[in-house]
Amino acid sequence: MTARHPHASRADAAMPPGAPAIGVRIAGCGSAVPDTRLTNADFERMLDTSDEWIVQRTGIRERRRCDPAKGENSRTLSTLALRRALENARIDAGELDGVIVGTVTPEMLCPSNSCRVAAAVGAGTAAAFDISAACCGFVYGLNIANALIRSGSMRTVGVVGCDHMTSVMDYTDRRVSILFGDAAGAAVLRATDDTSRGVVAHAMHADATGWADLYLPRSKADFPPGETPTDEKLNRLQMNGQAVFKFAVKTFGDLIQRTLDSAGLKAEDVDHYICHQSNARILEASRERFGLPEEKLYVNIQNYGNTSAGSVGLCLDELWRAGRVREGQLALFVAFGGGLTWSSSLWRI
């Protein structure tokens, strides 16, 4: 994998002083996961693997899986998550000005999931678009929605992150299939007169020199040089786990540090680190680097695996419903994923 040196740039930014006359608040959260569970014991029956290997290397014990017979997919999960977030916010769907869905597993490419999610929740003719930023979809979405609201373009925006990863797994590939599950997380963001609230610093990056470490080929022409295209690999996630692991450990830590620097904060100033759940070891490395107490870095990968764009919003919703995320606190959202992409969003709640 090409060496990559995440750098500070215009994509790392503290909000310019005095610019926003509008604040942004998280008005409500929601999430949705399918009922069907896929446990490590299930994988022991399907593949040459063990519960012990999976738990030690990843921290995962089970994941959720959409049931196509019930019509479950990324569109239905996203709809449910956003509906729950609207109920939680006590905001009528008709007040949404925009619906943003981060996903790399949409039901169809056209129409986007977001168009149908907006229609299903009753958002009228609100703007709707999907973001294809892999696991960064939700965090990119938070930053974009914050900017749209602060600019005065919109007042209320629904942001959803959702992936139906089990639909793109090769269940004969033990290196990849044990990692992923299905989930959606959503937040309703709304303008507020309190200008201290909303994003206080953020970063949004991509570097395609590492694209071949994580990709979803749709045709044989999509494979990188050196890979043998086969029909079995089409529409199945291909991953160089070790390369992604190294990238993730370095990027996560550097991204957190630069975002804190942009905001002039120290690691201990942040109340919640709400991070993409890709591997418990990657999260633990960041927790150790910054000396964070366990309660500040939320981990639920044991229950859901890596749910790609779904994971950060799902963590937020679990924390939110537990009453742990409170007005005035600082929450740092962080993700990395295919592209390769990486992004942060530091919020004054």
The residue to which tokens 């996560």 are assigned: 252
Q: Which residue lies nearest ligand ACO, judged by its C-beta?
A: 241
Task: Output 7 or 175, the one with its CB closest to ligand ACO.
Answer: 175
Task: Output 331 or 340, the one with its CB closest to ligand ACO.
Answer: 340
Interface with ligand ACO (CB under 6 A), residue from 63, 338, 343, 346: 338
Radius of gyration of the chain (CA): 19
Residue 301 is a binding residue for ligand ACO (CB under 6 A): no
Residues written for the chain: 349
Q: Indicate if 110 belongs to the active site.
A: no
The token pair that represents 14 in the structure block: 């503290």
Q: What are the C-alpha distances in Å from 166 to residues 36, 45, 178, 234? A: 11, 17, 10, 14
Region of 256 please: left (phi>0), alpha (psi -120 to 50) or beta.
alpha
Interface with ligand ACO (CB under 6 A), residue from 242, 266, 268, 269: 242
Residue 114 is a binding residue for ligand ACO (CB under 6 A): no
Interface with ligand ACO (CB under 6 A), residue from 96, 135, 203, 206: 135
Greatest Cα pair distance, the chain, in angstroms, is 59
Residue 250 is a binding residue for ligand ACO (CB under 6 A): no
Task: Output 172 or 242, the one with its CB closest to ligand ACO.
Answer: 242
Interface with ligand ACO (CB under 6 A), residue from 11, 22, 39, 57: 57
Q: Do residues 237 and 176 lie in contact, with contact meaning Cβ atoms separated by under 8 Å? A: yes
Interface with ligand ACO (CB under 6 A), residue from 1, 53, 222, 292: 53
The token pair that represents 134 in the structure block: 């892999």
Residue 49 is a binding residue for ligand ACO (CB under 6 A): yes
Q: Indicate if 300 belongs to the active site.
A: no
Q: Do residues 342 and 251 lie in contact, with contact meaning Cβ atoms separated by under 8 Å? A: yes
Residue 253 is a binding residue for ligand ACO (CB under 6 A): no
Exposed, middle or buried by CB within 10 Å (0-12, 13-18, 19+), for 158?
Answer: buried
Half-sphere exposure of 56 (CA within 13 A, CB side): 5
Residue 191 is a binding residue for ligand ACO (CB under 6 A): no
Residue 241 is a binding residue for ligand ACO (CB under 6 A): yes
Residue 245 is a binding residue for ligand ACO (CB under 6 A): yes
Amino acid at site 16: P
Which of 196, 162, 205, 206 is CA-nearest to residue 347? 196
Residue 308 is a binding residue for ligand ACO (CB under 6 A): yes
Interface with ligand ACO (CB under 6 A), residue from 306, 343, 344, 345: 306
Q: In this structure, how many other beta carbons lie within 10 angstroms of the beta carbon of residue 101?
A: 33
CB of 74 to ligand ACO, least distance (A): 14
Q: Per CB under 6 A, which region of 21-29, 74-82, 237-245, 293-301 contacts ligand ACO?
A: 237-245
* φ, ψ dihedrals at 137, nearest 5°: -50, -45
Interface with ligand ACO (CB under 6 A), residue from 76, 105, 278, 345: 278
Which one from 40, 73, 306, 315 is the annotated catalytic residue?
306
Q: Indicate if 306 belongs to the active site.
A: yes
Indicate if the alpha-carbon torsion angle 74, 72, 230, 54 is positive or negative: positive
Report the C-alpha gap between 181 and 240 in whole angstroms. Answer: 18
By the criterion CB under 6 A, which residues form the site for ligand ACO? 49, 53-54, 57-58, 134-135, 174-175, 178, 214, 239, 241-242, 244-245, 248, 278-279, 306, 308, 337-338
Name the residues annotated as catalytic.
Answer: 135, 276, 306
